[in-house]
């Protein structure tokens, strides 16, 4: 594991030696959602060193490449509130990468459940009903999920241990540039 400072991470709200987030779910709020296929964009940036270091620092694991995508059903007002008040903002090292909101959650299908990180890219035009999940395992396999399957999303209503984390562009820009496909 590379130290956070070597990757140019700035931790908002915690000293560099901070312990990251509590795993306490406290008051729990639940939604249902339907699994959908994503565009494949997350598979690239979830492998970047600065991103993986930030997720490990905040949540204690390195995510597998990619995300599980779902469309949240019902009233999403509380979900949006939690993203804004309980989420942590990941600030990327370069202007051509979007910021994201992340917070701890659980995803379940039937009796199977897995702790995850709910991720919402801050991109203009992004479907407000769509949510993405990071995990140390492939969630489709671990929870035996296919497109259209219903999942239960549980989020704890807790204050974040830190509100933002930023990567230093002078140290982390090159790994994004080398991982992107060319635009032709």
**pLDDT one-digit tens code per residue, 28-42:** 889 999 999 988 878
Q: At residue 96, does pLDDT exceed 70?
A: yes
Write the pLDDT tens digit of every residue in 145-172: 999 999 999 998 887 878 888 887 655 4
Q: What angle do CA 17, 119, 8 make, to 5 degrees?
A: 35
**Considering the chain, what is the average pLDDT of its residues?**
79
Q: Which domain holds residue 90?
A: 5-10+27-170
What are the structure tokens assigned to 102, written together?
């992340």
Residue 176 pLDDT greater than 60, yes or no: no
- Residue 22 in any domain: the answer is no
Residue 124 covered by a domain: yes
**Out of 3-12, 87-96, 101-110, 163-172, least confident range:** 3-12
pLDDT classification of 181: cutoffs 50, 70, 90: very low
What are the phi and psi torsion angles at 93 (to 5°)? -80, -10
Q: Is residue 176 part of a domain?
A: no
Q: What's the predicted TM-score (pTM) here?
A: 0.77
Bridge partners of residue 64, in order along the sequence: none
Number of domains in the chain: 1
Residues 6+ apart with CB under 8 A from 164: 12, 13, 88, 89, 90, 91
Q: Is residue 37 part of a domain?
A: yes
In a domain, 180, yes or no: no
Q: Residue 61: give its domain's CATH number.
A: 2.40.30.30
d(CA 168, CA 74): 38
CA 48 from chain centre, in angstroms, equals 13
């Amino acid at each position: 594991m590379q130290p956070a400072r070597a990757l140019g991470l700035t931790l908002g709200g915690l000293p560099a030696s901070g312990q990251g987030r509590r795993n306490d779910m406290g008051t729990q709020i639940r939604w249902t959602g339907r699994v959908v296929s994503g565009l494949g964009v997350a598979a690239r940036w979830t492998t970047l060193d600065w991103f993986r270091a930030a997720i490990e620092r905040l949540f204690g694991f390195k995510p597998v490449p990619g995300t599980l995508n779902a469309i949240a059903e019902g009233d999403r007002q509380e979900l949006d509130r939690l993203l804004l008040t309980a989420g942590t903002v990941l600030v990327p090292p370069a202007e051509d990468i979007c910021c994201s909101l992340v917070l701890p959650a659980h995803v379940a299908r039937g009796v199977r459940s897995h702790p995850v990180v709910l991720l919402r890219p801050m991109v203009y035009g992004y479907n407000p009903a769509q949510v993405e999940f990071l995990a140390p395992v492939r969630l489709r396999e671990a929870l035996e999920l296919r497109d259209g399957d219903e999942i239960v999303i549980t989020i704890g209503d807790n204050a974040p241990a830190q509100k933002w984390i930023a990567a230093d562009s002078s140290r982390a820009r090159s790994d994004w540039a080398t991982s992107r496909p060319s635009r032709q």
